[in-house]
Structure 1
Amino acid sequence: MAVTWLHISDLHVRSDNSYDRAVVFQALVSSVRHFRESDGRCPDLIFATGDIAHSGKPDEYSFAAKFLDELLGASGLERTHLYVVPGNHDVDRTIGNQLTRTLYSRDEADKYFDPGARKLHLIEKLGAFLRWHRIFFDGIRTMPDNSTCGPVELVEVRGLRLGILPINTALFCQDDNDHEQLFVGRRCLSPAIEELDQLSAHLKIALMHHPLHDLSHIERANIKAGLIDHLDVILSGHLHEAGCGTVEMWRGSNLYCAAGATYQTRKWPNTAYYATFDRDHVTIFPIRYEDHPREAWTLDTSLFPDTGYEASFPVPREPNFRSFRTPGSDQYGGNRGKPLISARFPAWSKVIPQVRCFRTDPAG
């Protein structure tokens, strides 16, 4: 028994009929169909971790929706099998100029992420993404407008139960200086994790656009601890570089995977990957776009050259490892004073050498 997903990210769709982008997208659609029909590599789910659009404008999502529907068709899937979170390019920066740049204390963050408080950064700056998401997934799922986390879902495929937690890291994105300015909100993450823990999933997956080191130091340790304690796999984008690696802990490990960019012009690397979970391991099959002699997505031999071009990572860790809890506000009492692993946990870039954390491409 196994379940396979296709992880894409960073589409950067503009509101134009770009030939350059169309070539890359059509090649991916054709190659995914070929992988399914000729090689038996059939995704059960597709995860898209942000930057669906280029500047968060409504017209951009019309073009993106067409591509996503074509990709689903090539995969033999429907919209219910697709999960999407926003990225920094899904933010309308012209609206963001009227809102506070970031938060400056724990108290301020806890007040901002009160479930009853209006999240103008989400409703306004990400308004076009939010409206598109609700229309595209109408009758399937609804992205919350009062939280960065959710909706939490349980997906069962051939007897394997996957818990899926979408996380919106883009609320406070505004310009090229977003590093350490971003917030998820522990008051959003804590109840989502509690809901996820009740699903009895064989594998728990978080979807987010930004790597954790882009979060503000005010809450980074809390968010990191919550994800490490309760999630098995963290999928991200943003870096425009593909990479996977394990974060080893006392009784197991977390798997962290970055998809690279699906499109950042034909001159820059365009990458994605398939992942297959078989109860004990997640096996990564990376793919990349080749522009000549034929436009096609093929096996990416550069990522795992020493392991036959694929790599297998053990997951999940033992259940009793999840003994720590995410520290929360007093409304989630009982967490204060509990031990945290984050204080002794190094930065992602230091424990995952295959994730290259520097980006020099023009897409941003």
Structure 2
Amino acid sequence: MALKILHISDIHFKHYKNFECLDLDKDIQREIEHDLSGLKSEYGTIDVILIGGDIAFSGKLEEYAQADQWIKRICEITGCKEENVLMVPGNHDVDRSKFNPILKNLHQSFKTLRSRRDIDYQISEFIRDPESASILLSPFHNYRAFAQKYGSIPEETNLLYWEKDFNVDNCVLRIRGVNSALISNETDEEHTSKLILGSHQSNIVRDNGVVYLVLCHHPPQWLYDMDDTVRDFNARAKILLYGHKHSFSADTFNNSLVLSAGAMQPSRNESDWEPRYNIIDLQIDNLNDPVQLAVKLYERKW
């Protein structure tokens, strides 16, 4: 049985308070609703909705409240169960009002690290200590409260990533959502002030009959541990879904599909402004080792 996935990213919900007339993105939201309604007879029910980060614009509760209303409408239109809406945080899901001198210094310390060994050690030190973990994760408080409604947050014993299994043609598709925005702040830059992921998130343990899909907001080139991340993901995951770039691309590498989603609601200041989303039809083509997937990708663009 095929698994149908609605893949969106960078939805950037803003809250205009008493000036909703200024929200031009409502038009995009309504058009996607109409588009999905028209496609339902052709594609059928959507089984999973994957959101690749940047749900809010500035990590505020009011922004998530608006996103919540829209996602519920999309679930009604597509027939997707709300518990099958899965997401990861992006840099816009960081609430920067939570930044204090301690957290700023902490980020600065992390951004000096270059080797995967040092990154892993530092992450481990902070996550194992409840007080330190609370400081590190404090900018995600509003995001986590929102994501918890849909069941896609890490557990108390694993604060970094989540996993959820789906049955596809007598095989298990295991979706792993990772947090690439762990040390994201206003200094983020692709070349001079990158981010980190760490082995705890990228190391995938092989399991018989399990195929991995990884959902991550930032493409590897935004990470200081890029080489290690690419090696880990491409060795064990069949599908890699990224966001952040606001441009679409689909490539294969080492028999894996690497998909950059494009943005559902990009900034209108961008010269190549192009709202878009994707539908992925996934089947298991070969159960032998290595397992082979049959993937149909339907690009929907403005």
Report the TM range for the smaller structure's normalisation: 0.7 to 0.9
Superposed displacement of residue 24, structure 1: 0.8
Shift in CA distance, 70/157, structure 1 to aligned 2, threshold 3 Å: farther
CA contact (8 A) 1:35 1:42 kept: no
Give the counterpart letter for 2:181 in structure 1: A
Q: Does 1:200 align with 2:209?
A: yes
| Counterparts of 2:190 and 2:157, CA distance in 1 | 23
Shift in CA distance, 200/149, structure 1 to aligned 2, threshold 3 Å: farther
Q: Which residue of 2 aligns with 1:242?
A: 248
| Counterparts of 2:89 and 2:156, CA distance in 1 | 13
Give the counterpart letter for 2:65 in structure 1: S
Shift in CA distance, 125/208, structure 1 to aligned 2, threshold 3 Å: same
Give 5+ residue unaligned stretches, structure 1.
290-364
| Counterparts of 1:24 and 1:151, CA distance in 2 | 30
Deviates more, 1:27-36 or 1:39-48: 39-48
Q: Does 1:104 align with 2:112?
A: yes
Aligned residue pairs total 274
User: SS at 1:119's partner residue?
Assistant: helix
Q: Does 1:214 align with 2:226?
A: no
Deviates more, 1:221-230 or 1:141-150: 141-150
User: SS at 1:278's partner residue?
Assistant: strand
Superposed displacement of residue 34, structure 1: 1.4
What CA RMSD, in Å, does the superposition of the two structures yield over aligned residues? Answer: 2.2
User: SS at 1:177's partner residue?
Assistant: coil
Deviates more, 1:159-168 or 1:226-235: 159-168
| Counterparts of 1:23 and 1:189, CA distance in 2 | 37
Deviations 1:145-203 (A, max 9, x none): 6756432121114645211000110111112533252111213433xx22xx33622x3
CA contact (8 A) 1:243 1:258 kept: yes
Superposed displacement of residue 279, structure 1: 1.6
CA contact (8 A) 2:160 2:179 kept: yes
Alignment counterpart, residue 128 of structure 2, candidates 116, 123, 142? 116
Identity of aligned residues (%): 22
User: SS at 2:227's partner residue?
Assistant: helix
Q: Which residue of 1 aligns with 2:46?
A: 43
Superposed displacement of residue 141, structure 1: 4.7
Q: Does 1:20 align with 2:24?
A: yes
Shift in CA distance, 168/145, structure 1 to aligned 2, threshold 3 Å: farther
> Which one has the bigger helix percentage?
2
Shift in CA distance, 178/266, structure 1 to aligned 2, threshold 3 Å: closer
CA contact (8 A) 1:96 1:121 kept: no
What are the residue-to-residue correspondences of 1:1-364 with 2, within 5 Å? 1-16=1-16, 17=20, 18-37=22-41, 39-96=42-99, 98=101, 99=103, 100-101=107-108, 102-105=110-113, 106=115, 108-114=118-124, 115-117=127-129, 118-120=132-134, 122-134=136-148, 136-137=149-150, 140-144=151-155, 149-157=160-168, 159-175=170-186, 177-179=188-190, 181-190=194-203, 193-194=204-205, 197-198=206-207, 200-201=209-210, 203-216=211-224, 219-247=225-253, 249=254, 253-264=255-266, 268-280=273-285, 281-289=294-302
| Counterparts of 1:188 and 1:265, CA distance in 2 | 30
Deviations 1:28-81 (A, max 9, x none): 1121121003x2343211110000000111111000111111111111011111
Shift in CA distance, 95/28, structure 1 to aligned 2, threshold 3 Å: same
Superposed displacement of residue 133, structure 1: 1.5
Give the counterpart letter for 2:222 in structure 1: D
Deviates more, 1:221-230 or 1:104-113: 104-113
Give 5+ residue unaligned stretches, structure 2.
286-293
Give the counterpart letter for 2:3 in structure 1: V
CA contact (8 A) 2:137 2:182 kept: no
